[in-house]
């Protein structure tokens, strides 16, 4: 059974995703939960704390999904394929929270924003290192690993803008297509 705090995070995540953090008030969250505005503070300290919890949890989910794949001994192309699938799985598995992580994190206070920016850079580093390993092994054509990682993550992070769970393609089919397209674009031509 979902705890009240988890209900608050789910509701806030949905509202932040649809309306944006700045356009969502604590009263909006309370109203959606059928609570009085003041009673919400019995469960949370501030609206920013809710945003922080959502963003930090999403960051943990992305790392938990991708880090083991990046650290494996598989060829770089196989690791990157797995990481693309993992990233899309996190995005489509909790699309509202992923949207908040990808778009609303900038509303965090400076120390928290810097902490998330560092985690985002570290996460991108997993992709950069995998692509660099693929270049070194001759699997991928010579390119700038940082720009290639930015391209891959930009493509993946655009999914919440158009993905619908009841759409024509499953998350798995989208992941297969994205992985094929992105990895073929990086592949070394012989």
- Confidence at residue 190, expressed as pLDDT on a 0 to 100 scale: 67
Q: Which residues fall within 8 angstroms of residue 121, CB to CB, at 6 or more apart?
A: none
Joined together, the tokens standing for residue 27 give 């009263």
Count of Cβ atoms closer than 10 Å to residue 62 Cβ: 23
- Confidence at residue 37, expressed as pLDDT on a 0 to 100 scale: 67
Beta-bridge mates of residue 140: 187
Closest CA to 160 of 149, 150, 171: 171
> CA-CA distance, 114 to 108, in Å (whole number)?
9
Residue 99: give the domain boundaries.
Answer: 47-186
Please check whether residue 158 lies inside any domain of the structure.
Answer: yes
- Confidence at residue 4, expressed as pLDDT on a 0 to 100 scale: 84
Long-range contacts at 62-68 (CB < 8 A, ≥ 24 apart) = 62/87, 62/90, 62/101, 62/123, 63/119, 63/123, 65/89, 65/90, 66/123, 66/126, 66/127, 67/126
Supply the DSSP symbol for 140. B
Please check whether residue 6 lies inside any domain of the structure.
Answer: no
Please check whether residue 11 lies inside any domain of the structure.
Answer: no
- Confidence at residue 73, expressed as pLDDT on a 0 to 100 scale: 97
Please check whether residue 74 lies inside any domain of the structure.
Answer: yes
- Residue entry with tokens 């690791």: 79
Tally of structural domains, the chain: 1
Please check whether residue 142 lies inside any domain of the structure.
Answer: yes
Beta-bridge mates of residue 1: none
CATH code: domain of residue 96? 1.10.357.10
- Confidence at residue 106, expressed as pLDDT on a 0 to 100 scale: 95
Please check whether residue 67 lies inside any domain of the structure.
Answer: yes
pLDDT per position in the chain (190 positions), as tens?
Answer: 778 889 999 999 999 999 999 999 999 999 999 987 677 888 889 999 999 999 999 999 999 999 999 999 999 999 999 999 999 999 999 999 999 999 999 999 999 999 999 999 999 999 999 999 999 999 999 999 999 999 999 999 999 999 999 999 999 999 999 999 999 999 987 6
């Amino acid at each position: 059974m979902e705890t009240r705090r988890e209900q608050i995070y789910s509701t806030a995540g949905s509202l932040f995703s649809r309306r944006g953090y700045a356009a969502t008030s604590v009263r909006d969250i309370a109203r959606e939960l059928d609570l009085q505005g003041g009673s919400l503070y019995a469960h949370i300290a501030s609206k920013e704390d809710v945003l922080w919890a959502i963003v930090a949890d999403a960051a943990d989910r992305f790392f938990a999904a991708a880090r083991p794949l990046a650290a494996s001994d598989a060829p770089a192309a196989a690791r990157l394929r797995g990481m693309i699938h993992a990233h899309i799985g996190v995005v489509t598995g909790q699309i509202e929270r992923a949207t908040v992580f990808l778009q609303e994190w900038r509303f965090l206070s400076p120390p928290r924003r810097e902490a998330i920016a560092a985690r985002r850079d570290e996460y991108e580093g997993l992709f950069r290192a995998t692509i660099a390993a693929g270049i070194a092994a001759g699997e991928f054509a010579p390119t700038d690993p940082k720009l290639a990682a930015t391209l891959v993550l930009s493509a993946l992070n655009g999914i919440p803008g158009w993905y619908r769970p009841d759409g024509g393609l499953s998350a798995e089919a989208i992941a297969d297509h994205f992985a094929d397209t992105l990895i073929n674009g990086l592949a070394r031509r012989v």
